């Protein structure tokens, strides 16, 4: 058996097995390298700072000690982890001559990326359920959404997602990869990785479709059901002010759901997984960078409680 850098060649079978990948990233536009580096670096810093501020205000301000903001602070924490899986590596690749990533590192990036991404999906579902109970069953809200239940729901989000993602990651990286080791992407994503696998990957693509449907479509449908009931309850309110307040508490969450689920669903539940790699890379930028940047802005601009807490934050930090 002879080894050669990123490949190992087995003499008996004359099959070259890939041992590491090369992320092409944005190497097709070298003249924009430093411009893109600056843009993504500033976006990453903005995402970190905005989400840290949300975590601070939801933990410090007594008015925000409610289940809704408990889940929002956890969502912000997951969002920080989610973007940190991909953007720092992308920034390093802008500066590096070699963009090599070992098979193990690639598998770890896939696991962490889908663990945090899937947990976000489940958290958005739990947040929709919280709004459903608050608006449709207000008298039972304190009992139904007590702290113990909130912690149990949060734990369930993590456990369910980790179990599914661990099994799927093991299945993908149990495959043999041969031939090209170049991934036309800025991180180790499942569709471009499967294109490099040896043999027929129909079963694996089918499994990805099913898992994506479970992690994306099932939570999305539950959110739609929750908001269907919420809208019906709001329309029954006699007070126009009450209807306006109820809609305002849900609108920011609904905008985030539509943006996030829309781009993720198009990427992972496409009928043709071998569609243009360029389109896949562009869509990935939406849900890995742009939407995480917009999320805290949407929550702060559309939420009067957080806006008020932000105005009081400097004084609380200085006292």
> What's the CA gap between 161 and 123, in Å, rounded?
11
> What's the CA gap between 19 and 269, in Å, rounded?
28
> What's the CA gap between 212 and 318, in Å, rounded?
46
The angle formed by the CA atoms of residues 71, 237 and 260, to the nearest 5 degrees, is 35
Residues 6+ apart with CB under 8 A from 274: 195
pLDDT in the model for residue 119: 94
pLDDT in the model for residue 2: 41
Query: Domain extents for the chain?
Result: 25-318
Q: Residue 174: which H helix or E strand, with range?
A: none
pLDDT in the model for residue 191: 83
pLDDT in the model for residue 270: 60
Region 89-93: mean pLDDT is 92
Name the pLDDT band for 49 (thresholds 50, 70, 90).
very high
Name the pLDDT band for 8 (thresholds 50, 70, 90).
low
H-type alpha helices, the chain: 33-60, 67-95, 103-136, 141-144, 147-173, 190-194, 202-212, 218-235, 240-268, 277-285, 291-302, 304-318
Q: Is 11 helix (H, G, I), strand (E, B) or coil?
A: coil
Cα distances (angstroms) measured from residue 284 to each of 92, 182, 185:
18, 18, 9
Secondary-structure class of domain 25-318 per CATH = mainly alpha
pLDDT in the model for residue 195: 85
Residues 6+ apart with CB under 8 A from 148: none
Cα distances (angstroms) measured from residue 38 to each of 7, 34, 222, 234, 252:
34, 6, 39, 45, 29
pLDDT digits (tens, 9 = 90+) for 277-319: 667 788 888 889 999 998 888 877 767 778 788 888 777 777 6
Q: In what order do the strands lie in the sheet with 20-23?
A: 100-102, 20-23, 182-183
> What's the CA gap between 90 and 42, in Å, rounded?
13
Residue 92: count other Cβ atoms within 10 Å of its Cβ: 11
* DSSP 8-state assignment for residue 145: T
> What's the CA gap between 273 and 117, in Å, rounded?
19
Residue 112: count other Cβ atoms within 10 Å of its Cβ: 17
> What's the CA gap between 186 and 277, in Å, rounded?
11
Phi–psi pair at 199, nearest 5 degrees: 75, -165
Reply yes or no on whether the pLDDT at 10 is more than 60: no
Cα distances (angstroms) measured from residue 313 to each of 61, 63, 283:
8, 12, 35
Residues counted in the chain = 319
Residue 250, both tokens: 């849900």
Cα distances (angstroms) measured from residue 184 to each of 22, 27, 116, 195, 212:
8, 9, 23, 10, 21
pLDDT digits (tens, 9 = 90+) for 168-220: 899 888 888 877 788 888 999 888 888 888 877 788 778 877 877 777 888 88
Name the pLDDT band for 79 (thresholds 50, 70, 90).
very high
């Amino acid at each position: 058996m002879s080894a050669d850098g990123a490949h190992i060649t087995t003499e008996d079978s004359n099959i070259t097995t890939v041992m590491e990948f090369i992320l092409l990233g944005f190497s097709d536009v070298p003249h924009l390298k430093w411009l893109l580096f600056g843009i993504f670096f500033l976006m990453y810093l903005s995402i970190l700072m905005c989400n840290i501020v949300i975590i601070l205000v939801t933990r410090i301000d007594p008015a925000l000690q409610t289940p809704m903001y408990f889940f929002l602070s956890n969502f912000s924490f997951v969002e920080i982890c989610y973007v940190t899986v991909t953007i720092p590596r992308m920034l390093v690749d802008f500066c590096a001559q070699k963009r090599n990533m070992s098979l193990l590192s690639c598998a770890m990036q896939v696991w962490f990326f889908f663990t945090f991404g899937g947990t976000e999906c489940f958290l958005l579902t739990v947040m929709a359920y919280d709004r459903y109970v608050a608006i449709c069953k207000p008298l039972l809200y304190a009992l139904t959404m007590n702290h113990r239940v909130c912690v149990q729901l949060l734990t369930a989000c993590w456990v369910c997602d980790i179990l599914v993602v661990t099994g799927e990651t093991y299945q993908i990286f149990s495959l043999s990869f041969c031939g090209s080791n170049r991934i036309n992407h800025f991180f180790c994503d499942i569709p471009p990785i499967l294109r490099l696998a040896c043999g027929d990957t129909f079963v694996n693509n089918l499994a990805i479709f099913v898992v994506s449907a479970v992690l994306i479509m099932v939570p999305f449908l539950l959110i739609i059901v929750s908001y269907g009931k919420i809208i019906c309850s709001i329309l029954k309110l006699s007070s126009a002010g009450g209807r306006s307040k109820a809609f305002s508490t849900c609108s920011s969450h609904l905008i985030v759901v539509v943006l996030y689920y829309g781009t993720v669903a198009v990427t992972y539940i496409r009928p043709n997984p071998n569609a243009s790699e360029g389109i896949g890379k562009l869509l990935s930028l939406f849900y890995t960078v742009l939407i995480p940047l917009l999320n805290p802005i949407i929550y702060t601009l559309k939420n009067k409680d957080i806006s008020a807490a932000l105005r009081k934050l400097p004084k609380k930090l200085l006292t």
